[in-house]
Amino acid sequence: MTPEAKQTTPEPGSSTPGGSRWRGRVALVTGASSGIGREIVRELTRAGMRVAFCARRRARLEALAQELPDAQSSLPLVCDLQDEVQIAAMFAELRARWDGVDVLVNNAGFARGASLLDGASSDWRAILEVNVLALAICSREAIADMRRRDVAGHVINLSSMAAHRVPVGSAMYSASKYAVRSLTEGLRGELRAMDSAIRVTAISPGYVETEFALAATGDPEHARRTYARYPCLQAGDIARTVRFALDAPPHMQVHDILIRPTRQPL
């Protein structure tokens, strides 16, 4: 594969006067029914991209699609990322509709109160299936699309500060994010080995005020307290960071951005 793309729309690595270089390109954002993923969909839509987005909660996806300005440029896809058959069907639909993916944002992920001493194996398995395996499967499929069409695309993985130290009680979640770090670097290495222009980025946030804490514990009061200790990051902060990594010039590959709320101690 030659690193440069043969495109009718502008090459994503080149600047486009008056607009994003990704205008008209296709993004897939996973975990878009809330929080960071939903905000990334809005941000990429503002950049003029065609945006497909997935999660399990159909009503949430449809509500998001309703608010986006152009129905032709948005594609909500119900997909449980624990099910590889559903992942394959999602990529098949994307290929049929838009001929594949130029940008993949592997955002879906969750934690659960699953300690190593008394956590349920089913919780551990679910964390690894969504946060790690689905991310690897989606990356493989999206990069196959990019290579087939000779596009200098971009894969962005939502990692975490939990990939850089181990919060006590969340070691399996932390392990999943250490794995994301490894997969990000491994993917970059394989792409380098074939002299590909496809870029890979990880973003590692600290506390972001979303539904994450509620999903992890099921306890609204705990979730409220989690985000009340100091001003936390907002989903829009992360969405703008995704845009920053995407809009970097082609010779510049952002590897891992660590972002904490200013007052987060660890």
Ligand X SMILES: NC(=O)c1ccc[n+]([C@@H]2O[C@H](COP(=O)([O-])OP(=O)(O)OC[C@H]3O[C@@H](n4cnc5c(N)ncnc54)[C@H](OP(=O)(O)O)[C@@H]3O)[C@@H](O)[C@H]2O)c1
Give residues in contact with ligand X (CB under 6 A).
31-37, 55-57, 60, 79-82, 107-110, 130, 158, 160, 205, 207-208, 210-212, 215
DSSP H helical ranges for the chain: 35-46, 58-67, 84-98, 121-128, 135-148, 171-193, 212-217, 220-228, 235-247
Distance in Å, CB of 111 to ligand X, minimum = 7
Name the DSSP class of 208: B
Smallest separation (angstroms) from ligand X to the CB of 34: 4
What is the Cα–Cα distance from 219 to 212, expressed in whole angstroms?
Answer: 11
What is the nearest approach in angstroms of ligand X to the Cβ of residue 129? Answer: 7
Phi-psi region of 100 (alpha: psi -120 to 50; beta: other; left: phi over 0): left
Beta carbon nearer to ligand X, 26 or 77: 77
Task: Give the count of beta carbons closer than 10 Å to the beta carbon of residue 118.
Answer: 7
- For residues 21 and 181, which CB has a smaller minimum distance to ligand X in the complex? 181
Closer to ligand X by Cβ: residue 21 or 42: 42
Amino acid at 77: L
Q: Report, in Å, the least distance between residue 98 CB and ligand X.
A: 20
Measured from the CB of residue 78, what is the shortest distance to ligand X in angstroms? 9
Nearer to ligand X by C-beta: 5 or 36?
36
Tokens of 54: 């997935």
Output the CA–CA distances (angstroms, integers) from residue 3 to 86, 98, 103, in the order listed.
Answer: 31, 21, 16
| Catalytic-residue membership of 230 | no
Angle, CA 37 vertex, CA 68 and CA 207 arms, to 5°: 135
CB nearer to ligand X: pick between 13 and 37: 37
What is the C-alpha separation between 233 and 242, in angstroms, rounded?
14
- Residues marked active site are found at 173
